[in-house]
Structure 1
């Protein structure tokens, strides 16, 4: 049931190779050679995550990225049996739609129709899942990915997602009752049948509660309804999770795989293709099934003084927010971004480049003592 190789093969089959790759990694299974954890842009093997050299890739004229901010107000106590299949099925999409960007963006890509991921998901895509949470509007859903933790090789409890899936941004608050469900709706039941399905079919690896969450200072300063266009460049977050029912096995051990994060990946014009995964839930999708888009990325500039984003043609809608963007790096499938914003007509998605601010968020969660 747990196949690291199947996961790597499934993603690699839909990922186009990087035009310019860093060397030094051995060819291997999901994530390839080297230590568990994010891969440094130089290709060096390190015991802990290494910050991208030279500061922020893609930084705008404003200079340095906002530094990571500690989330001391975060509180997310476990509410046992809250997220039953019926409540999950009724969660609405989280997403941010935007119009035209100011100058500096590449031409808008042609739309790429999202394709369903083969089922059952646990065979090849177990680390991809849904992030559920409560906000004032009610139960809401995003997507997320299990990522490697350099502090706990082979035993990661970390999930990568979007900032707006954990915090509402400027002048806002943390979301409540945040959980991660890997390989959600494993067999891809129709939306109308998910609510009455057995829990083991809807959450085959269980429900994992976030006991810590951290996002960027840039998202807390610029993101959300009271922020500005620059917020999307910092729309990323990391969760530390634990199983609802307790137990000694980590999330990575439970699902059988985790993906490395590549901080400081090349700009869009040096990447020939990316694969984007998620669970779109806004019309015309219903959130019941996992989809993917694959294509060459371009550069998207949300604001004149903000770092640029990656952008790719894709018809996925809200609910796919936070889903991973994957590339093949010397035979290893790695995460380079997450879905953050979409066009108002749902013809493309854009995700932040993961520079030093992203690494600082990740490193802060990785270094935090488990359960604190």
Structure 2
């Protein structure tokens, strides 16, 4: 009888483990869509928005996006890092190396605008180097509204935004991808996304503004990190970029979150977390801003890029 009970207990445990692994695997898979207005696109580089939706007034009045989380709550599912930290790509300068003459602020970071439910919203984002030279990284909640929601529309990336669009203008999205864990259940462990953008003037984004490297499997505890974004709630106004500098820490033994004490708020979602910089403009992105504290010490939270983020990176064209 004892042997039967032990065997039954072992079988139940294995079934539960298998179910948990399957659920984790499904959450770590991703989905993508192409811009439904893709057939309307034509490269009118002199226009603010070649697809004709965004105006400077709409950009200025876009609603800042954030997902607040209470410091006392910790609902993340902890997963171990099973591989050594690696870099999927490396930073690269723009072809002309003249970004400092075109922009008052770093050119690889910027604002990400989109529409949902008839309203205009804004997040932060950064250009990421890959072989196709057209990639942008942001938070999952900046491209899809999560559980019981849908994909966002009219997505544009505005690199080096400074009191309005910079000389680089707006870059319309061509395709966007995020994770099932975010789409199906708004799980913050899977709050990462990539999008590709159309070229402008026959040139790809990374060749024009430069591109950051992508790091994955780095731990939550990193030294000398820089977090960049466009906070837009009081006392910020969203017109200027800000950065926080310091060390990041693991939130708790039961969480995959990294955090840094930082006062940036709504609008900073999706902004890059640089584990290291090669100059003032370029670095290695190991996470993106996902949430912030609502009580106590102001903090930003992010799940460092894991294998499934690297998988998404590999699938972007």
TM-score bracket for this pair, using the shorter chain length: 0.7 to 0.9
**Which residue is 2:248 aligned to?**
297
After superposition, the C-alpha distances for 1:337-368 in whole angstroms (9 at most, x for unaligned) are 00000011470001111111111111111xx3
Equivalent of 1:102 in 62, 71, 74: 74
Q: Provide the rounded CA distance (Å) in 1 between the counterparts of 2:311 and 2:195.
A: 14
- 1:259-274 pair list within 5 angstroms: 259-265=212-218, 267-269=219-221, 271-274=222-225
Partner of 2:170: 207
Consecutive unaligned residues in structure 1, runs of 5 or more: 1-61, 106-118, 195-201, 224-230
Q: Is residue 2:150 matched to residue 1:167?
A: no
Q: 2:184 aligns with which of 189, 202, 221?
A: 221
Asked if 1 retains the 8 angstrom alpha-carbon contact of 2:225 and 2:245, the reply is yes
- Kindly state the Cα deviation for residue 285 of structure 1 after the two structures are TM-superposed: 1.2
Residue of structure 2 equivalent to 1:254? 208
Distance in 2 (alpha carbons) for counterparts of 1:76 and 1:338: 27
1:90 to 54, 57, 61: 61
SS class of match (1:297): strand
Larger Rg: 1 or 2? 2
User: How much is the aligned-residue C-alpha RMSD, in angstroms?
Assistant: 2.8
8 Å contact 1:104–1:300 — kept in the other structure?
no
CA drift at 1:247: 2.5
**Distance between the aligned counterparts of 2:135 and 2:211, measured in 1?**
9
Residue 101 of structure 1 aligns to a residue whose secondary structure is coil
Correspondence for 1:125: 106
Match of 1:242 among 198, 204, 207: 198
Task: Tell me, yes or no, if the aligned pair for 2:105 and 2:160 is still in contact at 8 Å.
Answer: no
- In the alignment of these two chains, the number of paired residues is 260
Give the 3-state SS of the residue equivalent to 2:122 in structure 1: strand
Distance (Å, rounded) in 1 between the aligned partners of 2:190 and 2:264: 21
8 Å contact from structure 2 (residues 262, 299) kept in 1: yes
Deviation at 1:101, TM superposition (A): 2.3
Aligned counterpart, 1:41:
none
Q: Deviations over 1:304-348 (max 9, x none)?
A: 6xx601110000001000000001289983100000000114700
Higher strand share: 2
Structure 1 length as normaliser, TM-score? 0.64
What secondary structure is seen at the aligned counterpart in 2 of 1:172? coil
Take 1:254 and 1:341, find their aligned partners in 2: how far apart are those partners?
30
Provide the TM-score with structure 2 as the length reference.
0.75
Counterpart of 2:276 (choices 328, 333, 336) is: 328
Q: Larger relative contact order (C-alpha < 8 A, sep ≥ 6)?
A: 1
Structure-2 change in CA distance of 1:317 and 1:247 (3 Å): same
Task: Tell me by how many angstroms 1:67 deviates.
Answer: 2.8
1:6-44: per-residue Cα shift (whole Å, max 9, x none)? xxxxxxxxxxxxxxxxxxxxxxxxxxxxxxxxxxxxxxx
Deviation at 1:261, TM superposition (A): 0.3
Q: Distance in 2 between matches of 1:146 and 1:285?
A: 23
* Cross-structure match for 1:146: 127
Q: Which residue of 2 aligns with 1:319?
A: 267
CA drift of 1:222 comes to 2.0
Aligned counterparts of 1:258 and 1:73: Cα–Cα separation in 2:
22
For 2:75 and 2:271, locate their aligned partners in 1 and report how far apart those are by CA, in whole Å: 27
Any gaps of 5 or more consecutive residues in structure 2?
1-19, 42-49, 78-99
CA distance in structure 2 between the aligned counterparts of 1:301 and 1:283, rounded to whole angstroms: 29
Question: What is the CA–CA distance in structure 2 between the aligned matches of 1:350 and 1:140, rounded to whole Å?
Answer: 21
Q: In the alignment, what sits opposite 1:309? A: 257
Q: CA deviation at 1:263?
A: 1.1
1:178 corresponds to: 155
Residues 180-235 of structure 1, C-alpha deviations (whole Å, 9 max, x = no match): 010012xxx4xxxx5xxxxxxx2310210111000011111221xxxxxxx11110
Q: Is the 8 A contact 1:132 1:179 kept in 2?
A: yes
